[in-house]
Amino acid sequence: MKIIVPVKRVIDYNVKPRVKSDGTGVDLANVKMSMNPFDEIAVEEAIRLREKGIATEIIAVSVGPQKAQETLRTALAMGADRAILVMTDDEVEPLAVAKILKAIADEEAPGLVILGKQAIDDDCNQTGQMLAALMGRPQGTFASEVTVDGDSVTVKREVDGGLETVKLAMPAIVTTDLRLNEPRYASLPNIMKAKSKPLDNKTPADYGVDTTPRLKTLKVVEPPVRSAGIKVADVDALVAKLKELGVAE
C-alpha cells in the first residue's frame, strides 16, 4: 500500500511572525522556515505504518516555491521514500492544493493520504476535507489514533465532547492531531541518504490546476497589545471594579 503525505513549508513555530510595514502580509525575509508541525506528525505516522509492514511506499508531496525542496528533504530524511514538489510562487489556497493532491492521488493510487489537520500559518483546516470531497472518499479528521486492519482503517478522532471512533473503507483520507504521535528526529546518516532519494519537480499546470488566488488580503495587522492587569485588595474591591467596567451588575 502506498501512502501520500502532503507537507507544507511554514514559518518555524518558535519564530514570532512580523507583519510587513505596509500591512500587505507577513514578513518572510530572513525568517527560519520548517515543516508544518502537524505534517511532521503525518510523516511519522506513515513511517510507523510502514515499519509495521502495512505500507510499502511513502510519497511526500509539497506545493510551494523552490525552497520547499528543503521541507521535502526533511520528510525524506525522516523516512519517506520519494517526493514530489509542485512548484509555484502563488499564494496557494486550500482548494487548489486539494485539486493538485487529487490529481497526484489519481496517478499514484494510494491506500491512505495522511496530512496535518491544519497549517500553523493560515490555520485553514480545509485541505483534508476538500480532498476527501473531491475524491469521494471517507475521511477521519483530527486523528489521535490510527489502526489499519485489512482494507479498512479505524480512526479515533478528537471532538469537542471527547473522542469519536470511525471505521473507514480504504482508500481514505486521515488528518492528524497533536496527540497522534511524537515525530522522530532525522539522523545524520538518513539526512545524507535523503539527498539521493528521488524528488520530482512538477507544476500546477502539469495537473491542470489553476492556482490563481480567489481571495484578496486587504490588510494584515499585529494583534493588539494586551493591557496590564490591576490588583485589588479584596473581593469587595473586585466586585466594585467589575461593576465599574460594566461586566457585572
Q: pLDDT (tens digit, 9 = 90+) per residue, 161-200?
A: 889 999 999 999 999 999 999 999 989 999 999 999 999 9
pLDDT surpasses 80 at 235 = yes
248 pLDDT tier (thresholds 50, 70, 90): confident
User: Residues 52-66: what's their mean pLDDT?
Assistant: 96
**SS3 track for the chain:** CEEEEECCEEECCCCCCCECCCCCCECCCCCCEEECHHHHHHHHHHHHHHHCCCCCEEEEEEEECCCHHHHHHHHHHHCCCEEEEEECCCCCCHHHHHHHHHHHHHHHCCCEEEEECCCCCCCCCCHHHHHHHHHCCCEEEEEEEEEEECCEEEEEEEECCEEEEEEEECCEEEEECHHHCCCCCCCHHHHHHHCCCCEEEECHHHHCCCCCCCCCCCCCCCCCCCCCCCCCCCHHHHHHHHHHHCCCC
Q: What is the reported pTM? A: 0.86
217 pLDDT tier (thresholds 50, 70, 90): confident
Strands 162-169 and 152-159: antiparallel
229 pLDDT tier (thresholds 50, 70, 90): confident
pLDDT surpasses 90 at 227 = no
Q: Alpha-carbon torsion 193, 118, 11, 209, what sign?
A: positive
| Mean predicted lDDT score pLDDT of the chain | 93
Work out how many domains the chain is built from and give that number: 1
Say which CATH number the domain at 153 has. 3.40.50.620
User: Residues 20-28: what's their mean pLDDT?
Assistant: 85
- Domain membership of residue 65 as a residue range: 2-245
Phi, psi for 218 (deg, rounded to 5): -80, -40
Instruction: Give the burial string for 132-169 (b: 16+ CB within 10 Å, else e).
Output: bebbebbbbbbbebbebeeeebebbbbeeeeeeeeebe
Q: What is the pLDDT of residues 72-92, one digit of tens each?
A: 999 999 999 999 999 999 889
222 pLDDT tier (thresholds 50, 70, 90): confident
Q: What is the pLDDT of residues 113-134, one digit of tens each?
A: 999 999 999 899 999 999 999 9
24 pLDDT tier (thresholds 50, 70, 90): confident
Say which amino acid occupies 33.
M
107 pLDDT tier (thresholds 50, 70, 90): very high
Weakest-pLDDT range from 54-58, 108-112, 144-148, 185-189? 185-189
